[in-house]
């Protein structure tokens, strides 16, 4: 299985400031057939299911605010919240879908400083 | 709008079988792959497997010997059975729509907490 790691475990950011979450895969998740990376990001608020934010490492799901952006390639990826809002307090998970089974990172908790 | 809703017992005895059903509305279960994912309290997410309307399934190797998924097209539902449960199987169980055979999960149910206890 591909092992996903995330850093930091948690972070606190002031409202309006940038939040950056890192995700690393134990092997490349690059898909040569379409030159894209098989990496998704989810947001999970307490008591709620995960919500898809981004897929193909950088494609924003419909309806997701443009302050959320994804980047990276191969084994190293980043989710950036450009201007943190109060409603962004949540845990964030990355997920690879390059190989079966799909696997998730352990999550990063984002809070307000 | 696609909606998924899990149902089933919230308490299962050790060594018994966990059975859950996911009811899908707003989409036909013949159009996508459908998955189960679980999350132990305070922990991360684990994919359990998927089923396609053709009956094709793919299970996480870590659970494969204990998992069976099925679907009922007449009710637009799919189900999960996990046998011989232990305390390690206690979790919130989510059903979700999977994009492709190996992709991302774009719609999720609200989840149902399953406790394992005698």
Give the residues across from A103 on adjacent strands: A96
Short-list A84, A32, A39, CA closest to A59: A39
Asked if the peptide bond before residue A8 counts as cis, ω within 30 degrees of 0, the response is: yes
Mean per-residue pLDDT over chain B, rounded: 96
Nearest residue of B to residue A41, measured between CA atoms: B104
3-class state of residue A36 by DSSP: strand
With 90 as the cut, is the pLDDT of residue A98 above it? yes
| pLDDT tens-place string over residues B59-97 | 999 999 999 999 999 999 999 999 999 999 999 999 999
| pLDDT tens-place string over residues A13-35 | 999 999 999 999 999 999 999 99
pLDDT at position B84, please? 97
Q: How confident is the model at residue A10 (pLDDT cuts 50, 70, 90)?
A: very high
Judged by CB atoms closer than 8 Å, whether chains meet at A49 and B111 is answered as yes
Beta strands in chain A (DSSP E): 4-7, 10-13, 19-25, 30-31, 36-37, 39-44, 51-55, 59-60, 68-73, 76-81, 90-96, 103-104, 108-112
pLDDT at position B63, please? 97
Judged by CB atoms closer than 8 Å, whether chains meet at B108 and A49 is answered as yes
pLDDT at position B72, please? 95
| pLDDT tens-place string over residues B16-25 | 999 999 999 9
Using CB atoms, which residue from A48, A55, A102 is nearest to B47?
Answer: A102
CA distance A55 to B94: 19
3-class state of residue A88 by DSSP: helix
pLDDT at position A111, please? 97
Using CB atoms, which residue from A95, A99, A101 is nearest to B104?
Answer: A95
With 90 as the cut, is the pLDDT of residue B102 above it? no
Chain A contacts of B106, Cβ < 8 Å? 52, 61
pLDDT at position B111, please? 98
Are the CB atoms for A111 and A96 separated by under 8 Å?
no
| pLDDT tens-place string over residues A53-88 | 999 999 999 999 999 999 999 999 999 999 999 999
Mean pLDDT score, B37-60: 95
Query: How far is it between the farthest Cα atoms of chain B?
Result: 39
A 53-82 near B (Cβ less than 8 A): 55, 61
pLDDT at position B101, please? 81
Are the CB atoms for A64 and A11 separated by under 8 Å?
no
């Amino acid at each position: 299985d591909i092992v996903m790691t995330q850093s930091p475990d948690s972070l606190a950011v002031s409202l309006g400031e940038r939040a950056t979450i890192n995700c690393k895969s134990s092997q490349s998740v690059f898909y040569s057939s379409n030159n894209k990376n098989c990496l998704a990001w989810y947001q999970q608020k307490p008591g709620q299911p995960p919500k898809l934010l981004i897929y193909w490492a950088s494609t924003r799901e419909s309806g997701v605010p443009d302050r959320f952006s994804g980047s990276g390639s191969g084994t190293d990826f980043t989710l950036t919240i450009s201007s943190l809002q109060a409603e962004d307090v949540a845990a964030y998970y990355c997920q690879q879908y390059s190989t079966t089974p799909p696997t998730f990172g352990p999550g990063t908790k984002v809070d307000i400083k | 709008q696609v909606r998924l809703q899990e149902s089933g017992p919230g308490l299962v005895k050790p060594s018994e079988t966990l059975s859950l059903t996911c009811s899908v509305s707003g989409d036909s279960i013949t159009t996508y792959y459908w998955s189960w994912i679980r999350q132990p309290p305070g922990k991360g997410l684990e994919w359990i497997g998927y089923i396609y309307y053709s009956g094709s399934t793919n299970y996480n190797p870590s659970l494969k010997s204990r998992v069976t998924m099925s679907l009922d097209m007449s009710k637009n539902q799919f189900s999960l059975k996990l046998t011989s449960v232990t305390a390690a199987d206690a979790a919130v169980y989510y059903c979700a729509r999977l994009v492709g055979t190996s992709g991302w999960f774009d719609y999720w149910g609200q989840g149902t907490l399953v406790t394992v206890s005698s």
